[in-house]
Amino acid sequence: MEDVFTARELATDNLNAINEAQRKVQSKHDNIFADVELKTTTMKELIYSDLKEPEAIVENLIHKSSSTVIGGNVGVGKTLFAIVNSLHISAGRDFLGKKTLKSKVLYIDEENYAGEIKRRVRLLKQGEYFSDEDLNNIHYSNYSGVVINTVWKTAIYDKIVETDAKVVVFDSLVRFFSGKENESMDTRQIFDFIKKISKELGTAFIILHHVRKTKGRVTINDLRGSGEIVAGASSVLLLNKESDGSITLKQEKNRFGKEDRDVLKFRIEGSDLENYLKLSFLGTTTSQKAKKLLHEVLQGEILLKLEDEGKKEFTTDWVAKNFETYSDSTRATALRNWKENPTGEVEEVTKGNYKIR
């Protein structure tokens, strides 16, 4: 019986100790959030407020108060692309056919030898006629050992304020944290830091990032590391090298405005022997996904037009006359898609003559 009472007393003591520990944790928890207030606004107040979408640094690609991840295979030219982009921003010149907002840039490089960057910038200055003033608008840091921890967070913040940089480039992501890129908590701390500075200073961050080894075209799913990288980014841009030696840029995510469906194509021209480097914009190519959507939109407009006119039959010429804003190839493909679908809404009766089934 004595053993029973002893066991009961021990259990009671243990329970009291647990309750006391929980009380202390709750008290600490309450103290942590004692001064925190959850502020809200109504949706009506929100839509009538003077809030605006962040201003574009590079039209529809890079915005103030944002983070843009640029991914691509080793050797595709991520660093050279970022340098050229930075130079165009610093000069306020159009980049890949898009307007830029002239801004100062802070380029933090933990990836490349400074001598190689010097060579590239010198050749680009020759090839694209950048002035010393343009170069003076870019502040460059090389192998400083920057890691996103408490000490460097303050140093980066201070340097952004000191240089009045509106754009910050991290080259490359994996070099900026001491943890593992596959661990969400490790990658999240970088994007939490970026969001805080972006919100306060309106800074645009450009983050170069590697992808997994892949034989085909790089997609958003090929970006290395935790899903927090894509989730935390405002925009994701992917670079791919084409068989003709050109490079394409495709936007895969954009929180601000419409996703740019065009694939931007360019080529790097020049060499050390020729004593210049230059990015030549080759134009845009619409992605296959966007093309398919465009064909389906046209098909829908044709059906609506026929319904409005009370018709069930039409010709190729009728489509060309009523939908002249579409290109010849778009109209031809939309009609061909109907023709090749035996169960579709429209069939070709004779060449160039169609009717609704």
Which domain, by its residues, includes 268? Answer: 56-286
CATH number at residue 315: 1.10.10
Residue 5's pLDDT band (boundaries 50, 70, 90)? very low
Residue 85 located in a structural domain: yes
Whether 297 and 208 map to the same domain: the answer is no
Any domain includes 339 = yes
Number of domains composing the chain:
3
pLDDT score at 258: 67
For residues 195 and 228, state if they share a domain. Answer: yes
Residue 315 is assigned to a structural domain of this protein: yes
Q: Are 117 and 8 in a shared domain?
A: no
pLDDT band at 11 (very low <50, low <70, confident <90, very high): very low
From 237, 266, 286, give the residue that closes a domain.
286
Judge if 160 and 270 occupy the same domain. yes
pLDDT digits (tens, 9 = 90+) for 272-297: 999 999 999 998 876 666 677 778 88
d(CA 148, CA 162): 19
Instruction: Indicate whether 104 and 248 sit together in one domain.
Output: yes
CATH of the domain at 248: 3.40.50.300
Q: Tell whether 73 is covered by a domain.
A: yes
Express each pLDDT in 63-114 by its tens digit.
999 999 999 999 999 999 999 999 999 999 999 999 999 999 999 999 999 9
Give the model confidence (pLDDT) of 168-178 as tens digits.
999 999 999 88
**Residues 11 and 74 both lie in one domain:** no
- pLDDT for res 1: 45
Asked whether residue 325 falls in the same domain as residue 272, the answer is: no
Last-in-domain residue among 286, 314, 330: 286
d(CA 249, CA 238) in angstroms, rounded, equals 6
Does residue 34 surpass a pLDDT of 80? Answer: no
Q: What pLDDT score was predicted for residue 6?
A: 52
Are 112 and 207 in the same domain? yes
330 lies in the same domain as 185: no
Residues 342, 216 within the same domain: no
Q: Which two tokens stand for residue 126?
A: 């020759």
25 within some domain: yes
In a domain, residue 206? The reply is yes
- Are both 145 and 202 inside the same structural domain? yes
Asked if residue 45 belongs to a domain, the reply is no
- Residue 198 located in a structural domain: yes
The last residue of a domain, from among 286, 304, 334: 286
164 or 255, higher pLDDT: 164
Does residue 302 share a domain with residue 185? Answer: no
